Amino acid sequence: MNEQAHVHGPDCNHDHDHQHDHGHVHGPDCNHQEPVRNALKDVGRNDPCPCGSQKKFKKCHGA
């Protein structure tokens, strides 16, 4: 017996409650998290601290 893979289309009438592995697709129910970025990466040690303390970064949050 020659069995072909099922292709979903407009006339497909089988139960679609089973899982398909078609790769990750971002949508409204996606719980994918973006990578964490270091917001302080471009702050130099002698630059003003981005917290607004008026101190140099190295004396404030860069310690």
Instruction: Say how far apart CA 48 and CA 40 lie, in whole Å.
Output: 12
Could you tell me the pLDDT band of residue 6, with boundaries at 50, 70 and 90?
A: low
pTM: 0.39
Instruction: Say how far apart CA 50 and CA 40 lie, in whole Å.
Output: 8
Instruction: Say how far apart CA 43 and CA 53 lie, in whole Å.
Output: 14
Write out pLDDT tens, residues 17-32. 555 555 666 677 777 7
**Among 28, 16, 8, 52, residue whose Cα is nearest residue 60:** 52
